[in-house]
Chain A
């Protein structure tokens, strides 16, 4: 059952709740169309994961939303303002973590966070204390021990955590994270996930992240957007997406010390049969619907196939 074309619908976010609102965004470099009509919206406090193969236009999309790149056409509103013409007050509400930075190598970690934080001081407002106090921030990202270390001397994972710290030092309303956990060990990754949850729960920060780690996307994101060939081919929670792709569920169980695997489009009748037949002799029973990875591969593959 091949899925061709674009999934209809997507998620409807009421207009007045939209932190990000993108309609028919197009980008063309010379004669090459990189974005061919991207539309989506994000609500306050939501975590959106933008997935897609390399070259699908993820970075271009994010850079347009960050105000770092001019678009060819389409309507874009971020925090109620067009990023192409937004001012410094808007900039103060947006946090940016790009894929890799090598800047400020001579600075000490604490010195740099203190300095960059100072730019946000005047943008503090009711309900939003800015900047984040440096010592708390160091603690939150786990860099307290490295406070006096020069930035060039940080390990890859520490550097990445510093980038995240700089991205949130102004306590942004909206945070862009471009592959935030590349180079993290599992523990650092877990801590980072906790930090993301804290940002959305405590500060109501809206987060748009890109990642190639589908597990991470499933854990963090309220909603997943899949970008392929310059357009959004799927928009919904991991659960919704896997439901949309007709796939087979995998049933695993153990009986008499032997491990069994069976695939079925509809697992219910098979399971009933299995249990009627063997009853309690069936142990370690697992039913797994499409993983996000399966769904993703299927969607992207079908979409590309449909184009050929």
Chain B
């Protein structure tokens, strides 16, 4: 187990390095970050409606929550789909403990890239917006929130990725996810949404990750504009924990099913289909 962990982490670091030295990959990872920075820049003087709080100061931590959720949910899922198509997963299956090593490596690589894309927003963002404040309480929040964020999103992302075996059908996942971002209080306070949308948003982890990040980076007075006038740490913990448990229960089953179905002819058939749809 320790041995697999070591090989898996080594794998993750190698993939992390590959991404950092590949222009196309970097662009894919950092494009959303740049977009966020530009958005923050133009939010300059905007205020959270009905208050004197800077909208930018509220959006920055929210969007970090969103980046973390995207890293865990989408990136992992995309990797699984692409790696299944090109045979990387089959290779892992043909190697002793290869599947575990592969998954550990993915978590390390995606974790590293998510952290990097967060820093790309956070470091310049601090200079762009006023009113961010990280005190001891904020650091403590990050200490439990970040690992929980990983556990609540990565297994779900892996489950999604193992469910789709065609990169082109993955758009089906992306679309509702963007819709979810729109209603999750990332760019605009959730309190301004109709009640039923608030209800939907609070089922999913994106809202709670945004809220948790706001609680870590903003003065407590900002809690007044949140639902329930509070940071609701207990509820954040609860909802994310439910997602974590659901993900950890579901992901191994789906991953095993996916792994069981991998074979040379499955990879060949998938490639054939990909070629055909390109020709068409």
- The answer to whether A and B interact is yes
Q: In the complex, identify which listed stretch (B32-40, B84-92, B199-207, B236-244) lies at the interface while the others stay far away.
A: B84-92
CA of A123 to CA of B7, assembled, Å: 14
Q: Does B93 interact with chain A (Cβ within 8 Å)?
A: yes
Q: Are A63 and B265 in contact (CB under 8 A)?
A: yes
Q: DSSP majority for the B interface?
A: helix
Task: Let me know if A166 and B91 touch, CB within 8 A.
Answer: yes
Known: A63-B264, A63-B265, A118-B10. A91 touches B94 (CB 8 A): yes
**Smallest Cβ-Cβ distance to A120: which chain B residue:** B96
In-complex Cβ contact of A98 among B90, B96, B101 (8 A): B90
Question: Which residue of A has the minimal Cβ distance to B266?
Answer: A68
Q: Point out the residues of chain B lying under 8 angstroms from A121, CB to CB.
A: 3
Q: Residue-by-residue, is B66-98 near A (CB-CB < 8 Å gives 1, otherwise 0)?
A: 000000000000000001001110110111111
| Docked CA distance A166–B98 (Å) | 13
Given A89-B96, A101-B91, A103-B87, A68:B263 Cβ within 8 A: yes
Do B96 and A102 have beta carbons less than 8 Å apart? no
B233: Cβ under 8 A from any A Cβ: no
Q: Nearest residue in B to A89 (C-beta to C-beta)? A: B96
CA distance A184 to B11 in the complex (A): 31
Answer whether residue A283 sits at the interface, using C-beta atoms and an 8 A cutoff: no
A81, B102: Cα distance in complex, Å: 25
Q: Are A119 and B263 in contact (CB under 8 A)?
A: no
- Residues 152-197 of B at the A interface (beta carbon under 8 Å): none
Residues from chain B with Cβ under 8 Å of A123 in the complex: 96
Chain A residues with CB below 8 A from B262, complex form: 68
A285 within 8 A of B: no
Pairwise interchain contact A88-B96, C-beta atoms closer than 8 A: yes
Per-position 1/0 for B1-27, Cβ under 8 A of A: 001100100110011001000100000
| Chain A residues proximal to chain B, CB less than 8 Å | 59-60, 63, 66, 68-70, 88-89, 91-92, 96, 98-107, 111, 115-116, 118-123, 166, 170, 178
What are 25 A-B pairs with beta-carbon distances under 8 A?
A: A59-B264, A60-B265, A63-B264, A63-B265, A68-B262, A68-B263, A88-B96, A91-B94, A91-B96, A91-B98, A101-B91, A103-B88, A103-B90, A107-B18, A111-B14, A115-B7, A115-B10, A115-B14, A118-B7, A119-B4, A119-B95, A119-B96, A119-B98, A122-B3, A170-B96
